[in-house]
C-alpha cells in the first residue's frame, strides 16, 4: 500500500476551518481561555525563581505569605479558564457536528436512487454517526491540546530564555527533528484512519443486516455463518485500530527521546565551567523545572496527532459525500395537476455498471384516465419502466412525455406530486398508523380525510379492534402489523394523496384472498378518473384493464386488452393458462 496520503490534508483543514469561522466569537474566547490556562500554569514556574531567591534564601516571610495567596489565585483562574475553554470548544464542536450530520442527511435525501444501489446503507449510516464523531474529537480534544500545550511550550521556552538564553538555544536544534517525525507518522495515521472508516462501515452494515434478517437467520440455522462473518469483519476493524495504536505508541517515545536529548544537552551545558555560577539558585530551579515540564506538552501534542489525523480523514469522508452530485433536477415546468397522458418513445435503459439492457426500444402511449397493466416474468423490466416514470432513474436514450411535456423538462418535485405510488415492498415509518397514512398528503389534511382514506382502503377493518385505533404504533418497519395490513396502509396513503396518476407495483401481492377482495373494490374506486399503471403478477387482478402490456427481457412483446390477448394465444395466453392451472 502506498505511503502517500489519500487526500490533501491542508485542503480538508481549510474547508473545516470554514465551519469554525461561523462560531468565531466562541472559538476565540475558548482559545484565549486556553492561553490564559497555560499562562497561569507557567507563571508558577516563573514565580518559583523569586520565591526561592527572596522567600527562602532571603528569608522574606512577607514574600512567602504573598506566594501562598498567589498559588490560590492561580488555581482559581486556572479552573475558570479550564471550564470556559472546555465548554465553549465542546459547544462549537457539537454545533459543527450537528450541522455536518444535517448536511449529510439532506444530501442523502437528494442523491439519485442509483447511488443507493451501489452503496450499502450501513456505510452511509456510519458516515452520519462514526465519521462525524471523529470530527467532534478533532474540534474539541485536538484544539484543547494544540492551543493549551502549544502555549505552555511557548511560555516554558520564554522562562528558559529569560533565565539563560544560551542554554535554551539547544532546544531549537531538536525542533526540525520532531517535525519530521510528526510528518511521517501523520501520513500513516491518515492511511490507517481511512481503513478504519471502511471497517466501521462494514461493522454497521453487518449488524444492520443481522437485525433485519433475524427471523430468517433463525429459521435457516444461520447463526454460525453470521457469527463467522461478523467475526472476520470485527477482527479486521480491531487490526486496523491496533495499527493506529502501534503508530501512536511508537511516535510518542521517539519524540520524547528527542526532547530528552535537548534536556541532556542543557544539563551538560550547566556542567561547564562558569555557567552554573552565573545562575542564582532560584534561576537554576526555574530553568530545570521548565525543562522538565516541557516533556508533558510535547507528549500530549504527539499523541493528539492521532486524533487530528482521524478527524481530518473523517472530514474528508464527509466532504466526499457532500460533494456528490445530487439527483438531476433541471426541469423548469411546474404542474399543478396533470391530465395524466403519457407517451414513451424509443426508450432504452441500463442500470449502472450493468452491460445488460433492462429496457430496449420501449414505445408506449397511455391515455389520460386509462388503466394500463404491465405483466411478464420476473426481471422483464416492468418495475424498471415504472421507476423511470417518476425519474427515480434517468435514461439518456429515448423520451417520456407527460401531457406532451418531456418529464426531464418538468420540475422533479412537481412531477412526483402527479403520482401516488404503492409498491410490493411497503415502507412504513416507526410512527402511528394515522401519521403513516397522512404522510401521503401534499397539503394539510383533516382527521376526517385521513379516516376516509383508511376506510376506503379497509384499514379501519383491523384498526377498529386496536385499543388506540388509527393512533396505534406500527413498530419499526411495520413490525406490529401483518403484510396485508401494511399493504392496506400503503394504499390508504395513496388514496389520501389524490394524485392524477397511480402506480401500483404488485400492490396486492402481500394480501390474502379476503383482503385482496376488499382492496380490489377500493382500488377500483381509486382508479376512477385517474391514469393507472399496474405492475401485476396475478393476471386475475388486471383483466379489466384498458391495455395490457406484456414484457419480456426488457421489451414489449404483446399489447392489447385481455380478450384480444387471449384470442392471440401468445405469451399472455400462456401466462394466463399457467396461473389458471395453478388455481
pLDDT in tens, 346-390: 999 998 877 788 999 999 999 998 999 999 888 888 889 988 998
If asked whether residues 144 and 97 sit together in one domain, one would say: yes
For range 440-454, the mean pLDDT: 86
Same domain, 274 and 382: no
Question: What's 580's domain CATH number?
Answer: 3.40.50.300
- The cell 462560531 sits on which residue? 23
pLDDT in tens, 162-178: 877 766 666 666 666 66
Q: Rounded mean pLDDT of the chain?
A: 81
pLDDT at 36 over 90: yes
Question: What does the pLDDT average to over 24-43?
Answer: 91
Please identify, among 322, 351, 378, the residue that sits at the C-terminal boundary of a domain.
Answer: 322
Q: Which residues have a Cβ under 8 Å from the Cβ of 114 and sit 6 or more positions away? A: 351, 352, 393
- Among 212-216, 430-434, 469-473, which is the least confidently predicted range? 212-216
pLDDT at 189: 64
pLDDT at 219: 66
Mark whether 372 and 304 lie in a shared domain.
no
Cα separation, 8 vs 313, in Å, equals 10
Of residues 468 and 199, the one with the higher pLDDT is 468
Residues 192 and 282 in one domain: yes
Q: How many CB atoms lie within 10 A of CB 203?
A: 19
User: Would residue 182 count as lying in a domain?
Assistant: yes
List helix spans (H) across 111-170. Answer: 113-118, 121-126, 132-139, 141-163, 165-168
Q: Model confidence at 525, in pLDDT bands (50, 70, 90)?
A: low
Inside any domain, residue 513: no
CATH code at position 304:
1.20.1560.10
Residues 6+ apart with CB under 8 A from 460: 451, 454, 470
Asked if the structure places residue 163 within a domain, the reply is yes
DSSP line for 293-351? HTHHHHHHHHHHHHHHHHHHHHHHHHHHHHTS--------B--SS----EEEEEEEE--
* Euclidean distance between the first and the last CA atom of the chain, given in angstroms as a whole number: 61
Q: What is the model's pLDDT at position 170? A: 67
Query: What are the pLDDT digits (tens) for 76-99?
Result: 998 999 999 989 998 998 899 899
Residue 420: helix, strand or coil by DSSP? strand
Higher-confidence position of 440 and 324? 324
Q: Per the domain annotation, does 116 fall within a domain?
A: yes
CB 430 within 8 A of CB 473: yes
pLDDT of residue 395 exceeding 50, the answer is yes
Is 184 in the same domain as 297? yes
Q: What is the pLDDT of residue 6?
A: 58
Quote the pLDDT of residue 1: 37
Which range marks the domain in which residue 72 is found? 9-322
- Answer yes or no: do 172 and 110 share one domain: yes
Co-location of 312 and 343 in the same domain: no
Residue that terminates a domain, selected from 267, 301, 322? 322
Number of domains observed in the structure of the chain: 2
261 shares its domain with 358: no
201 and 223 housed in the same domain: yes
Given 262, 294, 322, the domain boundary residue is 322
Q: Does the residue 183 lie in any domain?
A: yes
For residue 247, with 0-12 CB atoms within 10 Å meaning exposed, 13-18 middle and 19 or more buried, which class applies? buried
Whether the predicted pLDDT of 508 surpasses 80:
no
In a domain, 470, yes or no: no
Residue pLDDT, tens place only, 316-354: 889 989 998 888 888 899 998 899 899 999 999 998 877
Per-residue model confidence as pLDDT tens digits over 114-125: 888 888 777 888
117, part of any domain: yes
Same domain, yes or no: 267 and 357: no
Q: Does pLDDT of 306 surpass 80?
A: no
The two beta strands, 342-349 and 359-366, are antiparallel
Same structural domain, 335 and 279: no
The whole-angstrom separation of Cα 443 and Cα 74 is: 62
Asked if residue 533 has pLDDT above 50, the reply is: yes
Q: Are residues 246 and 173 in the same domain?
A: yes
In a domain, 476, yes or no: no
Amino acid at each position: 500500500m502506498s505511503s502517500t496520503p489519500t487526500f490533501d490534508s491542508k485542503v480538508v483543514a481549510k474547508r473545516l476551518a470554514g465551519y469554525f469561522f461561523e462560531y468565531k466569537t466562541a472559538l476565540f474566547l475558548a482559545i484565549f481561555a486556553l492561553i490564559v490556562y497555560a499562562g497561569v500554569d507557567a507563571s508558577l514556574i516563573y514565580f518559583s525563581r523569586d520565591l526561592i531567591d527572596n522567600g527562602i534564601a532571603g528569608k522574606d516571610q512577607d514574600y512567602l505569605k504573598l506566594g501562598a495567596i498567589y498559588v490560590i489565585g492561580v488555581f482559581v483562574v486556572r479552573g475558570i479558564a479550564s471550564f470556559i475553554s472546555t465548554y465553549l470548544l465542546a459547544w462549537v464542536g457539537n454545533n459543527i457536528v450537528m450541522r455536518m450530520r444535517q448536511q449529510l442527511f439532506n444530501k442523502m435525501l437528494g442523491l439519485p436512487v442509483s447511488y443507493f444501489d451501489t452503496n450499502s446503507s450501513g456505510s452511509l449510516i456510519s458516515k452520519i454517526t462514526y465519521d462525524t464523531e471523529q470530527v467532534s474529537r478533532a474540534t474539541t480534544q485536538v484544539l484543547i491540546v494544540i492551543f493549551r500545550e502549544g502555549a505552555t511550550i511557548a511560555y516554558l521556552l520564554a522562562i528558559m530564555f529569560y533565565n539563560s538564553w544560551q542554554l535554551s538555544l539547544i532546544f531549537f536544534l531538536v525542533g526540525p527533528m520532531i517535525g519530521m517525525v510528526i510528518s511521517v507518522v501523520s501520513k500513516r495515521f491518515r492511511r490507517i484512519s481511512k481503513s478504519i472508516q471502511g471497517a466501521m462501515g462494514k461493522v454497521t452494515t453487518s449488524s444492520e443486516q443481522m437485525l433485519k434478517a433475524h427471523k430468517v437467520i433463525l429459521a435457516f440455522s444461520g447463526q454460525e455463518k453470521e457469527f463467522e462473518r461478523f467475526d472476520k469483519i470485527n477482527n479486521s476493524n480491531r487490526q486496523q485500530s491496533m495499527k493506529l495504536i502501534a503508530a501512536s505508541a511508537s511516535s510518542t517515545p521517539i519524540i520524547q527521546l528527542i526532547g530528552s536529548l535537548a534536556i541532556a544537552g542543557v544539563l551538560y551545558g550547566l556542567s561547564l565551567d562558569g555557567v552554573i555560577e552565573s545562575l542564582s539558585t532560584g534561576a537554576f530551579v526555574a530553568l530545570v523545572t521548565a525543562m522538565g515540564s516541557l516533556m508533558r506538552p510535547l507528549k500530549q501534542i504527539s499523541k493528539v496527532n492521532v486524533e487530528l489525523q482521524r478527524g481530518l480523514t473523517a472530514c474528508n469522508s464527509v466532504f466526499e459525500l457532500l460533494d456528490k452530485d445530487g439527483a438531476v433536477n433541471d426541469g423548469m415546468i411546474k404542474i399543478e395537476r396533470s391530465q395524466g397522458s403519457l407517451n414513451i418513445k424509443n426508450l432504452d435503459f441500463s442500470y449502472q455498471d450493468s452491460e445488460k439492457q433492462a429496457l430496449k426500444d420501449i414505445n408506449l402511449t397511455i391515455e389520460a384516465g386509462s388503466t394500463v397493466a404491465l405483466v411478464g416474468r420476473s426481471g422483464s423490466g416492468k418495475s424498471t419502466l415504472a421507476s423511470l416514470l417518476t425519474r427515480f432513474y434517468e435514461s439518456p436514450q429515448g423520451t417520456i412525455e407527460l401531457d406532451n411535456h418531456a418529464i426531464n423538462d418538468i420540475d422533479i418535485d412537481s412531477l412526483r406530486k402527479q403520482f401516488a405510488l404503492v409498491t410490493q415492498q411497503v415502507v412504513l415509518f416507526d410512527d402511528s398508523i394515522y401519521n403513516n397514512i397522512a404522510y401521503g398528503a401534499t397539503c394539510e389534511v383533516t382527521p376526517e380525510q385521513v379516516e376516509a382514506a383508511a376506510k376506503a382502503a379497509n384499514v379501519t377493518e383491523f384498526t377498529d379492534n386496536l385499543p388506540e385505533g388509527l393512533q396505534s404504533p406500527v413498530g419499526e418497519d411495520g413490525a406490529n402489523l401483518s403484510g396485508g395490513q401494511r399493504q392496506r396502509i400503503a394504499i390508504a396513503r395513496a388514496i389520501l394523496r389524490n394524485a392524477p396518476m397511480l402506480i401500483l407495483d404488485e400492490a396486492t401481492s402481500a394480501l390474502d384472498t379476503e383482503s385482496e377482495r376488499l382492496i380490489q373494490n377500493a382500488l377500483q374506486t381509486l382508479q376512477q378518473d385517474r391514469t393507472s399503471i399496474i405492475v401485476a403478477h396475478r393476471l386475475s387482478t388486471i383483466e379489466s384493464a384498458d391495455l395490457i402490456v406484456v414484457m419480456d427481457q426488457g421489451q414489449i412483446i404483446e399489447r392489447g386488452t385481455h380478450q384480444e390477448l387471449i384470442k392471440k394465444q401468445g405469451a399472455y395466453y400462456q401466462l394466463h393458462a399457467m396461473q389458471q392451472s395453478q388455481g
